[in-house]
Structure 1
């Protein structure tokens, strides 16, 4: 296998991805070689690749050109070679890499066995792939709402793919009223289909939450849990405006900059609890990813409407442009490796 070569996307500069054929490195003990079948673009991938915000410009994960396949971290494929007793050639696996193994935008991926899960050999690979993102949502809800009993009301600000999963998981956990907030009416319609009880169409990036029928500011949401799932400070502003007395705030998306304006007096007066969530890959036994895979296999969480557009790896630059522009009704972009 040491002479194996395969195509990989390489980030050669901000916003510049090139596909090249690269050699596959030797496996170390505990590592597995996976031939990727399908992958997907996460919102954080778009931020990392474009590096337009101060937080991502300053992150400096890797010098350019970045390692092949970076920053892909949502993948599913077949084990070709293994130096791990946990996985054998021919098995199908979900890859949920940590930062050191982000390489899903490549035909072949070398990864530690601690970031792999067995998946069924039948069924839709694209559906099982969604267990990666759903796993991060399951993990986040453990932090955002640690109480064993569900709340009555929640809001999800930003209903891209992750936001749609939050809507479903909140209803799955028993929340009575879930409000979806977004700039795109098409996404709000899908959120309704997936369980949202109310939707709020935001016509601009102001901090006023508007009623979709009258266009007037709404002051009485006062939800018990408000989740930001868009990765923008404006979405976090909406979430902070919607949370009620002794409520909880969950910031899921990655930062835009190193700081932001917070209405501390309001949060202080309402006795708000704020939590963030990152690092599901480091949870013991990949517990949240395992739970998410079980939910998808059991068809308890719907994922078939999430990946709306698919591109071959050779066209990954087009795939990222669509994921960034959010045109053509896109929710999430998939990648194939033919």
Structure 2
């Protein structure tokens, strides 16, 4: 079979490899589509700082089960499934408490839990192996376009679930970055709350997309953007800001426009640092959280919203042979939503 590998520092190659066989408690998924994410670019850009060369890329996968390992009774050949991003153990304290995205066994204090395309061969291939317990039924959702739900849907869902107490009818929520994650996050917010939504992006076409998805106000980033947000909130600031970019300019925007007792969720991997200290002057009570992926419960919510047609991943498909073009288009910001490789 063909598989996209991070074969050496900063180098992706399409290789012919053996079709894998599922072990006990595993299934083999014939991949229908594999999403591309900015974190995939991040891995490529790490160069020789990333030690897992030879792994198949892709943490956003969905497809049809075509083989099951010994002991698997939860799934059958022919089932359409979404492969969870977070391969937690299910038995440690964090998992039992429902915080499986902070699994103590497959992750740890300084690492994320095991994940396809990061610690195991991923979805950018014709077939992939996954633990049966981490394959969720898709029902009637098209598996070709479903893969991004496991990150582009899951990650915004986790961030949003962590701020539910502030998503009141009179609240203002700012979504920074209307790309792969942000355009789904905006739809989730529209589906579950009545808060006022402000979308920020440097691309006018993405702002137009945000307006189509229900944003009440759209703003381009610049020297006056924080002042605009403050003006839209009577000088008080936004109750919630979710930053799907994470560069210094967007983090600074969040710091300059959050309300007292407001909540900031830093999701993007842009490397920005929040200007906070124990003696921060204003506003008081701001809650800042670095958000990673999500829990199984979050993903089930995402699947339910998708099944109800309340959220939809916008995507462009590429044959797996054109993987490099897909990565290049993602890097150049040409995509509306996600890119999906189709084997």
Aligned match of 1:235: 250
Q: Once the 2 structures are TM-superposed, how far is the Cα of residue 277 of structure 1 from its aligned partner? A: 1.9
Relative to the length of structure 2, the TM-score reads 0.81
Aligned match of 1:44: 39
Aligned match of 1:77: 63
Aligned match of 1:139: 158
Aligned match of 2:336: 330
1:273 and 2:291 aligned:
no
What secondary structure does 1:191 align onto?
helix
Q: Once the 2 structures are TM-superposed, how far is the Cα of residue 302 of structure 1 from its aligned partner? A: 3.4
What secondary structure does 1:189 align onto?
helix
Taking the aligned partners of 1:123 and 1:27, their CA distance within structure 2 comes to 24
Taking the aligned partners of 1:147 and 1:134, their CA distance within structure 2 comes to 20
Aligned match of 2:226: 209
Change (3 A) 1:235 1:92: same
1:250 and 2:265 aligned:
yes
Q: Once the 2 structures are TM-superposed, how far is the Cα of residue 266 of structure 1 from its aligned partner? A: 4.8
What secondary structure does 1:160 align onto?
coil
Q: Once the 2 structures are TM-superposed, how far is the Cα of residue 126 of structure 1 from its aligned partner? A: 3.9
Q: Once the 2 structures are TM-superposed, how far is the Cα of residue 314 of structure 1 from its aligned partner? A: 1.2
Query: Which range is displaced more, 266-275 or 78-87?
Result: 266-275
Q: Where do 5+ consecutive residues of structure 1 fail to align?
A: 1-5
Q: Deviations over 1:174-230 (max 9, x none)?
A: 233110011101000100110110011125xx6953659xxx999936010011011
Task: Report how many aligned residue pairs link the two structures.
Answer: 307
Q: Where do 5+ consecutive residues of structure 2 fail to align?
A: 87-113
User: What is the correspondence of 1:46-125 to structure 2 with a 5 Å cutoff?
Assistant: 46-51=41-46, 58=49, 60-62=50-52, 64=53, 66-67=54-55, 69-70=56-57, 72-83=58-69, 84-98=72-86, 99-102=114-117, 103-120=122-139, 122-125=140-143
Q: Would you say the 8 A contact 2:60–2:147 is kept in 1?
A: yes
Aligned match of 1:3: none
